[in-house]
Structure 1
Amino acid sequence: MTITVGTYNVRGMKDDVAALARVIRAMSPDVLCVQEAPRLLCWRRRRMELAESAGMRVAAGGRLGGVAILLAPGVRLLHSESHVLKIFLGLEIRAVAIAVVEVEGARFAVASIHLDLDEAARLHHATEAVAMIEQVAARFDAAIVLAGDINEQDDKTTWRYIAARLSDCYPRAPRGNGLTFRAARPDRRIDAIFATQGLQVAWCGGADADPADLVAATDHLPVVARLVRA
């Protein structure tokens, strides 16, 4: 069976929310990992409204850390949890949102992360998040998908750490140039989807959305992967 997973930094929904919803619909994900989800006033309602506008529902994610997971209709939610990662004085609070889902009998443990700009904190949080998703996946006999804003490129330490444990989906079956930041003139790939080695990657790359919507929606471009589990 196949599952479509997306990841998208929505910058607190500070830009064109209607364009944002159209982009998510164009992505057509079964599961969407969100970063910079609203986390201040009326954060629950705003996340729910975004999900509903894109034909999805909120499955996981607390206020702190601003990460969330949305699900499409027909995707069964088996379990969800959210964790604040180690707090570093003077840096933003980071978190991981985890959802275990079932699609056509196949189980996936999906994690949404947004790592720090500080290199040491970024690596520490990555090790925490990978350990957490591995533990959850083992409990549910699920394939792992970890996605988010890594805040560094693929030649750096944290990216290499994650990619040594989970497969970076884009190089395996690239679609488009893979660049995700900044949306108007992207020149780097800092958003990614990683998955269990056993999952086949049909393709991974950008969304087939209106270019004007992609620029208006937020400052990141989304990443979408089509994954196949035997």
Structure 2
Amino acid sequence: MSPGASGGSLRVASYNLKDLALDRAAAARVVRQIDPDVLCLQEVPRRLFSTWRVSSFAAECGMSWSGRHRGSGGTTIFTSPRVHVAQSQHVRLAVPAMRRTRGYAVTLVGPAGHQPLVVASIHLGLDPAERERHAGQILAAVASGGPVVLAGDVNEVETGRAWASIASALVPVSPPAPTFPADSPQSRLDVVFASPTLTVLPHREVTLDVRDLVAASDHRPVWVDLCVGADSVLAADRGA
């Protein structure tokens, strides 16, 4: 990751897009309303015309995309013009034959003049043992000695072993509200975890049209504002 703005806050969001198989215009409206600096995505299109579809969606959201996500199991990361990205990588995780591919996306990003953050988008699988194994592998891979944020769909709630594995190193910092299914949320599957050294700012609610939330995906998005400097430059740019 590399510095970009001069200081302030960093809004990190996570959203499972269900392969953009539902209402992509509604999904883009949701993202624009949240206005994240870093957007961790799961279930982005992976097959026919996937690069064009993801790139077009990034433009519809007013965000930038690295243009690469092969091997990531449908995860990727968008960034806003308010931050600068030094590195982006998509990593495949081992799964048994005939099982859905899994992976994660990781980027090094941050405001100018401040220590950059490692931010990873994750989407754990449906098998509990696989989730726990992948959680440990991702944690080991992204450990940098500096602040880390993991955001995504962990496919289990707080009592799960993968959740416990991540929480042994990072703190769940997004609001403790259910995110799935979108039309009547019952389970908190989508979450942002962050290094305990990072300061979490008071949560700012965003007015989102419930019709868009239900039309866009079967998951609801989550987001958090992290303090990365003394001045709230990014927050001020956003008009917060």
The residue type equivalent to 2:140 in the other structure is A
* Unmatched segments (≥5 aa) in structure 1: none
Q: Does 1:52 align with 2:81?
A: no
- Cα distance change on mapping 1:89 and 1:205 into 2, 3 Å: farther
Alignment match, 2:129: 120
Q: 1:188-213 deviations in whole A, cap 9, x for unaligned? A: 10000000111111145875311111
Contact 1:68 1:97 survives alignment (8 Å): yes
- The one of 150, 160, 167 equivalent to 2:164 is 160
- Cα distance change on mapping 1:152 and 1:205 into 2, 3 Å: farther
User: Taking structure 2 as the reference length, what is the TM-score of the superposition?
Assistant: 0.87
Q: 1:6-63 deviations in whole A, cap 9, x for unaligned? A: 0000000001111000000011100000000110111111111111001001137523
* Unmatched segments (≥5 aa) in structure 2: 1-7, 230-240
What SS is found at the alignment partner of 1:193? strand
Contact 1:88 1:121 survives alignment (8 Å): no
The residue type equivalent to 1:143 in the other structure is P
Alignment match, 2:234: none
Alpha-carbon distance in structure 2 between the residues aligned to 1:217 and 1:57: 20
Q: Does 1:147 align with 2:147?
A: no
Alpha-carbon distance in structure 1 between the residues aligned to 2:53 and 2:203: 28
CA RMSD of aligned residues (A): 1.6
How do 1:92-131 residues align onto structure 2 when only pairs under 5 Å count? 92-106=100-114, 107-131=116-140
Q: 1:146-167 deviations in whole A, cap 9, x for unaligned? A: 1000000011111011011011
- The one of 73, 76, 93 equivalent to 1:68 is 76
Contact 2:55 2:67 survives alignment (8 Å): no
Alpha-carbon distance in structure 1 between the residues aligned to 2:52 and 2:179: 28
Higher relative contact order (CA 8 A, sep 6+): 2
- Cα distance change on mapping 1:167 and 1:30 into 2, 3 Å: same
What SS is found at the alignment partner of 1:121? helix
Identical aligned pairs, as a percentage? 37
What SS is found at the alignment partner of 2:219? coil
Alignment match, 1:78: 86
Contact 1:60 1:68 survives alignment (8 Å): no
Contact 1:16 1:216 survives alignment (8 Å): yes
User: Taking structure 1 as the reference length, what is the TM-score of the superposition?
Assistant: 0.91
Q: Which has the higher strand share?
A: 1
Alignment match, 1:18: 25
The residue type equivalent to 2:163 in the other structure is W
Alpha-carbon distance in structure 2 between the residues aligned to 1:100 and 1:54: 21
What SS is found at the alignment partner of 1:165? coil
Alignment match, 1:198: 197
Alpha-carbon distance in structure 2 between the residues aligned to 1:39 and 1:206: 31
- Cα distance change on mapping 1:206 and 1:112 into 2, 3 Å: farther
Alpha-carbon distance in structure 2 between the residues aligned to 1:18 and 1:53: 8
Q: 1:66-122 deviations in whole A, cap 9, x for unaligned? A: 000000012101111111012223321100111101213221110001000001111
Query: 214-223 or 96-105: which moved more?
Result: 96-105
Alpha-carbon distance in structure 1 between the residues aligned to 2:132 and 2:99: 14
How many aligned residue pairs are there?
A: 220
What SS is found at the alignment partner of 2:30? helix
Q: Does 1:215 align with 2:214?
A: yes
Contact 1:17 1:217 survives alignment (8 Å): yes
